[in-house]
């Protein structure tokens, strides 16, 4: 099978599984809904205040919710030794990683698309800067979370307390990406500064870590 065929086969399988069970997406949606409601009670912000804090709130909610999808990425493959079968098959590891990362990206993107209107309504948000810039920020930011998340989920497979291990590994390394997403979003919402630097930082983060993940995934998958 070609590189592309393996990627597509894994990706369609994952999407079909998710489409039929809707496990991850339901859990993520409900979780981020709870975050929206609880933060709204906790801060009770005016429109002006919420413009300043919304960038942080939105991304923290998405980050925590994304952990749900990321954790089940590989756990699903442990049942019936699917991952072992993949390991002994002649298929290379890279397309598997790309398929998993793209799959996670799609799940988190769907979550974001569904949750954003709620955030806008609950926090009375209206961007004072150019709102279209939020789209590249969302794409780059989500990829930044998902690419390292998928990688570290594979790494934490072979640890005790697997589910708690992923955030412990992922969050410290994601600090620059989070700073980038939150500040870029706040810059667009308040319209006070330009998000250009933060978008460039996200691009650099994505390029560096996508390359590192692709280069080192082989070693991590083979590790047993």
Partner 1 sequence: MKRGFTLLAIATALLLSFALYAALVIAPTEQTMGNVQRIFYYHVPSAWVAFELFLINFVASVFYLIRRSTKADILALVSAEVGVVFCTVVLITGPIWARPVWGIWWTWDLRLTLTLVLWLIYVSYLVLRRFSTSSQTPLLAAVLAVFGALDVPLVYFSIWFFRTQHPAPVIGGGGSLDPRMGWVLLYNWIAFMCLAWLVCWTRYRLEVAQRAVHESEAMQSLMEGAR
C-beta neighbour count of 25 within 10 angstroms: 19
- Are 218 and 211 spatial neighbours (Cβ–Cβ below 8 Å)? no
Output the smallest distance, CB 144 to partner 1, in A. 10
Among 24, 68, 165, 199, binds partner 1 (CB under 8 A): 165
Closer residue to partner 1 (CB): 69 or 155:
155
What is 43-61 written as a DSSP string? H---HHHHHHHHHHHHHHH
What tokens appear for 216 in the block?
């080192």
Binding part of the chain for partner 1, among 39-47, 91-99, 131-139, 167-175 by CB under 8 A, reads: 167-175
Output the smallest distance, CB 39 to partner 1, in A. 22
Among 116, 193, 203, 210, binds partner 1 (CB under 8 A): 193
Closest CA to 185 of 145, 113, 146, 135: 135
Closer residue to partner 1 (CB): 134 or 187:
187
Is 21 near partner 1 (CB under 8 A)? Answer: no
- Are 64 and 31 spatial neighbours (Cβ–Cβ below 8 Å)? yes
Provide the binding-site residues for partner 1, judged by CB under 8 A. Answer: 148, 155-156, 158-161, 165, 168-169, 171-173, 175-177, 179-180, 183, 193, 197-198, 201, 204-205, 208-209, 212, 216, 219-220, 223-224
């Amino acid at each position: 099978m070609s590189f592309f065929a393996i990627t597509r086969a894994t990706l369609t399988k994952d999407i079909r599984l998710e489409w039929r069970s809707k496990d991850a997406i339901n859990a993520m949606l409900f979780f981020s809904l709870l975050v929206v409601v609880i933060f709204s009670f906790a801060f009770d912000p005016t429109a002006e205040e919420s413009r300043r804090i919304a960038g942080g709130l939105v991304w923290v909610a998405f980050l925590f919710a994304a952990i749900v999808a990321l954790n089940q990425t590989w756990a699903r493959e442990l049942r019936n030794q699917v991952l072992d079968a993949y390991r002994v098959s002649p298929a290379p590891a890279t397309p598997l990683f790309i398929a998993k990362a793209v799959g996670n990206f799609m799940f988190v993107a769907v979550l974001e698309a569904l949750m954003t209107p709620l955030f806008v309504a609950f926090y009375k948000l209206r961007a004072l800067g150019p709102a279209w810039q939020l789209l590249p920020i969302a794409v780059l930011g989500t990829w930044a979370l998902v690419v390292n998340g998928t990688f570290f989920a594979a790494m934490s497979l072979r640890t005790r307390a697997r589910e708690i291990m992923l955030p412990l590994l992922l969050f410290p390394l994601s600090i620059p990406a989070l700073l980038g997403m939150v500040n870029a979003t706040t810059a667009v919402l308040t319209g006070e500064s330009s998000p250009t630097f933060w978008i460039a930082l996200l691009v650099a983060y994505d390029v560096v870590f996508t390359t590192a993940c692709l280069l080192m995934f082989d070693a991590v998958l083979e590790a047993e």
